[in-house]
Amino acid sequence: MDAGTVWITQYGYGAIFVLLMLGIVGLPVPDETLLTFAGYLVFKEKLAFLPTLLAAFLGSSCGISVSYACGRGLGTYFIRKVGPVLRFKAEHLIEVRTWFIRRGKYTLVLGYFVPGIRHFTAFVAGSSKLPLAVFALFAYSGALVWTSCFIGLGYLFGEEWARLSGTVHRLLIVLAAVVLLALALYLLLLRRRQAEAS
């Protein structure tokens, strides 16, 4: 057992809340594994389902809200400092903001399921000045779906939770790699089009 599962065993709902909040903000917390383990503890009747889901939902929602607030407060400053290194110009930020308001808000739901992506979606949403009401609708809906899925998997896996959780985690890593590759290709094509247009 790693430290996270030990803490959940010892401190229950409070540990679920704190660990998921820190994990969503970006600290190296194995979020899916902890949620699946929490579902297993529900299966073992050591935790109750509704308080477990509530602690996980609130922890995730708080974490993603902190990331959104950081993006809203520091996003423009961060782009101004790091942008030139990454060849990211002011017009690119306008494009990202426009895209995020139109379609990017859906990444707040889907991003939870992609390790490495969920940590940045809220920061980008904040730096894109996505309205708080829109952010809350999509981010908190995503938190509810994501936490429910993995707690449910832990409950369904039962005694097999540890073995099957590892398989799910590996599949999510592959998914993250595919998403990042697709994003890199999209940005490369976008840059080529802009170079040809200029």
Q: Give the per-residue pLDDT at 185.
A: 73
Output the DSSP codes for 133-180: HHHHHHHHHHHHHHHHHHHHHHHHHGGGHHHHHHHHHHHHHHHHHHHH
Q: Residues of the chain with pLDDT > 90: what percent?
A: 35
Query: Residue holding tokens 């903001």?
Result: 97
Prediction pTM value: 0.78
Instruction: Compute how many other C-beta atoms are within 10 angstroms of the C-beta atom of residue 134.
Output: 14
Q: Give the per-residue pLDDT at 44.
A: 93
Q: How far is CA 98 from the centre of its chain?
A: 21
CA distances from 155 to 32, 60, 161 (A): 13, 19, 8
Q: Give the per-residue pLDDT at 187.
A: 60
Judged against a pLDDT cut of 70, whether residue 148 lies above it is answered with yes
Distance CA(43)–CA(161), nearest Å, equals 10
Judged against a pLDDT cut of 70, whether residue 73 lies above it is answered with yes
pLDDT in tens, 81-99: 665 555 555 566 666 677 7
Judged against a pLDDT cut of 70, whether residue 161 lies above it is answered with no
Average pLDDT over residues 170-188: 64
pLDDT band of 189, cuts 50, 70, 90: confident
pLDDT band of 166, cuts 50, 70, 90: low
Q: Give the per-residue pLDDT at 110.
A: 82
